[in-house]
Amino acid sequence: MARSEHPISRANISSNALKVLYRLKDAGYQAFLVGGAVRDLMLGLSPKDFDVATSARPEQVKQLFRNCRLIGRRFRLAHVRYGYEIIEVATFRAAHTQIDDDNGVEEAGHRVLDERGRILRDNLYGRIDEDVWRRDFTANALYYNIEDFSIWDYVGGFDDVRNRVLRLIGDPQTRYREDPVRMLRAVRFAAKLGFTIHPDTAAPIPELARMLDGVPPARLFDEINKLFLAGSALRGFSLLVEMDLLRHLFPDLATALARAPDLPAARLLRLGLAGTDERVQTDKPVTPTFLFAILLWPVIQHRFGPLRGDTDVQALLAVCDQVIAAQQSRIAVPRRFTLPLREMLALQLRFERREGRRALRLLDHPRFRAAYDFLLLRAAAGEVDDELAQWWTDIQPLDPQARIALVEGRAGQDHGQGHGQGHGQGQDEGALRAGTGRDKPRRRRRRPRRPPAAV
């Protein structure tokens, strides 16, 4: 497809990616911008990453770039670093060939599959017309040629991008068995780009969703972050439910939502995902800590019950630990995220206690802001009174003296209400003292110190 037939301009391509492309071309190798970058540029989006495909072997790429590092065992790749930007360079891979009867090793170990047909290692190099068949979706299989600025399309990806259709290359059953994570990638791209998953691509997913059970939990953690922290979390979650994938990623969450789909914790989940999308779209930070608090809260609520002011914090933390430990068997959430998650949820109990200066110390807690945002979600979902969330909202901009006056005034008010209930009237503490003939409380007398014992 000639330059005049597509909208991609070099002005929108990373200057560092252009350096890599031109140096490979000048060294006599084929060099193409490929994958999501070409797709996003066609859609008028700004690509997050720029990937390059080339006829040069990884070792040859390394010889051309001093700032290059070879990585990967499953797929051998070259990373060319320019400051904080990394241009990933991959060598064209060969097309699928006949494999051993036991799904084992072929071609001197260049391609290795497990007993399920999942690819463990694939470093069999080939030509560009073979490489295209190794990519997952047609929309990701477009090649931008730096030599004449044309787009090479072997599988109809250009039309699929224009029509916003997500179509798997090759036989869907085989491709999902090779790499079950492709099912999550289908959901992610459909949610992120607003694409419709082609019926042939969507049909095998519910049947093969069980294959996600064999994917390493650490890899699933990365995929979940890509799915939920890219600005399309709510749509992605809906697709996980629709494709019957959720129960293989968050089995306890799927059970809790099935039993009580209309409870406040379920509403909190959807409000939290929508809020995450809004933060991404406004360039505000998002973290896996808050994301997994949202995703696990319905399970914690289901097992523990509603929080009250007299709830035992240790009992709550014990349930949190049980829920997190069970989830770790599916998705390996690092401790640097689960530890602050526990703190953030434990602070929800302290929001109920607003009397005295001890309440002010909560404002200085390092997890206060995250815990406060979670409290706002609970209020929006109907789990706690709006008045509680509004009180903590109002106190934050006050100066120190005004904060003290507010909490001490509340302490006196609550203490007075307690006396009023006990005496059948709404008197404050001063009135009660006046009724007993004492305007001021008694002062304690100090006992005189004993003289030291004689030695």
The catalytic position among 40, 122, 131, 136 is: 136
Task: Sort strands 105-106 and 111-113 into parallel, antiparallel or unpaired.
Answer: antiparallel
Q: Is the dihedral of CA 432, 435, 439, 441 positive or negative?
A: negative
Cβ neighbours of residue 137 closer than 8 Å, sequence gap 6 or more:
157, 166, 167, 168, 169, 185, 186, 189, 201
Asked whether 377 and 401 are in contact (CB, 8 A), the reply is no
C-alpha of 280 from chain center: 11
Confirm whether 51 is a catalytic residue. yes
Structure-block tokens of residue 381: 């979902």
Q: Residue 6 forms beta bridges with which residues? A: none
Rounded CA-CA distance 68/78 in Å is: 6
**H or E stretch including 93?**
none
Task: Sort strands 196-197 and 165-166 into parallel, antiparallel or unpaired.
Answer: parallel
Structure-block tokens of residue 282: 């406004």
Confirm whether 129 is a catalytic residue. no
Task: Sort strands 31-34 and 51-54 into parallel, antiparallel or unpaired.
Answer: antiparallel
C-alpha of 439 from chain center: 60
Distances (CA, A) of 395 to 137, 297, 355, 399: 52, 26, 13, 9
Q: DSSP alpha helices (H): ranges in 32-127?
A: 36-42, 58-64
Structure-block tokens of residue 419: 């006396």
Rounded CA-CA distance 80/16 in Å is: 9
Structure-block tokens of residue 24: 């490979």
The catalytic position among 51, 122, 179, 252 is: 51
C-alpha of 150 from chain center: 36
- Taking the CA of residue 391 as centre, how many other CA atoms within 13 Å lie in the half-sphere pointing to its CB? 15
Q: What is the dihedral of CA 176, 182, 183, 187, to 10 degrees?
A: -150
Closest CA to 39 of 231, 185, 170, 181: 185
| Three-state secondary structure call for residue 404 | helix
The catalytic position among 49, 244, 373, 428 is: 49
Rounded CA-CA distance 427/438 in Å is: 15
Structure-block tokens of residue 60: 């040859």
Q: Which residues are catalytic?
A: 49, 51, 136
